Structure 1
Amino acid sequence: MISAQNKIYLASKSPRRRELLRQVGIDFELLLLRDALPRGPDVSEIVLPGELPDAYVARVTQEKASTAWNILQMRRLPLRPVLAADTTVVLGQQILGKPGSPAEALAMLKQLSGNTHRVLTSLAVHHQGDNFHCTQTSEVTFTTLNEQQMQAYCATQEPYDKAGGYGIQGIAARYISHISGSYSGIMGLPLFETTLLLRQAGIRLP
């Protein structure tokens, strides 16, 4: 077990990231950023004009970690490392976000069908003035899907809270013919890289 002084803050609402941290025995407390009205999000996830996917995901992640660190200082919380992450699905240089409707989910799935895309998961750890960051890249190949398969998938709830409109740990796994990289990274938190950054920030891990 990780000792109390080795606890971190996780600046993410993702249940998948929580599960992955628990999987490798990392103790954490949630430090959630605001992402809704009325005052708007603490960190905007709007892509800047001309911003490439790799630069976008790194910028957003580092802004999340920095904002969360400022919040914990404002609240006078115990000073522990803050971990933030952001996952972006990229086809060519096009960022595929979270679909907001069945029509958007279907259009996205048609783009992924029969193609290989990249999944970028950026990590940032802030602690006591030190900032650690990396971006892990994986490739995912979808088999060619027919209309019935795509319609059936988009009729589920799975596409609507995930970048790219799918989760590799869900129903979509039946359509994924090949991956290259980190399975946990595709889920949203590459555990090898996460462990490296936390060690750099002073977390004692075996």
Structure 2
Amino acid sequence: MQDIRFLLPKIILASGSPARKALLEELGIEVQVFATNCDESCQLVDPSQVVRSLAIRKLDNYRMIHPKYHLPVLACDTLIALDGNLIGKPQSREEAFMQLSSFSTKVQEVHSGWALWYKDEEICGCDCALVHFKSLDEKTIEAYLDTNQWQGAAGSYRIQGSARSLIDHIEGDVATVIGLPLLQISEILSKPVQQ
């Protein structure tokens, strides 16, 4: 697998996510951020299809607003699935508490979809990782909620923060859980071009 920073030394990130930006910058990629504001409603029910569709919508939104650009553009979306239900960002502390309580001792799927405009071609995909939660009591959840790291995060947590202490282990690419499946993107970009 080729190092992604050589494939994408500079990129436009069509996302307001500080975690995605930080992940790319940690790899030595120069990032320009453009937070998209598009409709995120979706009639699809399969989480992989939902996040892939929303990532494409965000990329298309950027390309419509900025028809002339010279860098690769990357858009992403992340959702959590637990027991067949899609879980997004909580709207309140109470909703965050309910989400985290429902995760106790369970395994959830984190789906991250992405769409990339690269060398005049749209490439897209989706990756899934499994997050295994520890047993979470009320005191543990309340202490985590006091950090306010649940705000604006799908499923009320970000693994790169103090929520890591709530998680037993992760199966799959940790970057997928953060919201940017770098291993998958790098593998796809590294493949020889088909003639």
Q: Please, what TM-score do these two structures have when normalized by structure 2?
A: 0.87
1: CA distance, partners of 2:54 / 2:171: 24
1:60 is aligned to 2:54: yes
Which residues of 2 match residues 6-85 of structure 1 at below 5 A? 6-34=9-37, 43-48=38-43, 51-73=45-67, 76=68, 78-85=69-76
**Does the CA contact (< 8 Å) of 1:85 and 1:123 recur in 2?**
yes
CA RMSD of aligned residues (A): 2.1
1:90 is aligned to 2:81: yes
Which residue is equivalent to 1:152? 143
Query: Counterpart of 2:47 in structure 1: which amino acid?
Result: P
Change (3 A) 1:197 1:83: farther
Which residue is equivalent to 1:109? 100
Change (3 A) 1:100 1:79: same
Deviation (angstroms), 1:146: 1.2
State the secondary structure of the residue aligned to 2:45.
coil
2: CA distance, partners of 1:155 / 1:28: 31
2: CA distance, partners of 1:157 / 1:121: 23
Aligned residues: 187
Query: Share of identical aligned residues, percent?
Result: 30
Deviation (angstroms), 1:31: 2.6
1:184 aligned to which of 175, 178, 183: 175
Give the stretch that moved more between structures: 22-31 or 110-119: 22-31
Deviation (angstroms), 1:61: 0.5
Residue by residue over 1:14-66, the C-alpha shift from the partner in whole angstroms, topping out at 9 and shown as x without a partner, is 111111111212222223323xxxxxxxx211232x52212111110111111
Residue by residue over 1:137-172, the C-alpha shift from the partner in whole angstroms, topping out at 9 and shown as x without a partner, is 100011111121122222320111100001111111
2:121 aligned to which of 113, 127, 130: 130
2: CA distance, partners of 1:58 / 1:92: 20
Deviation (angstroms), 1:129: 4.6
**Does the CA contact (< 8 Å) of 1:53 and 1:93 recur in 2?**
no
Query: Counterpart of 1:133 in structure 2: which amino acid?
Result: C
2: CA distance, partners of 1:199 / 1:32: 27
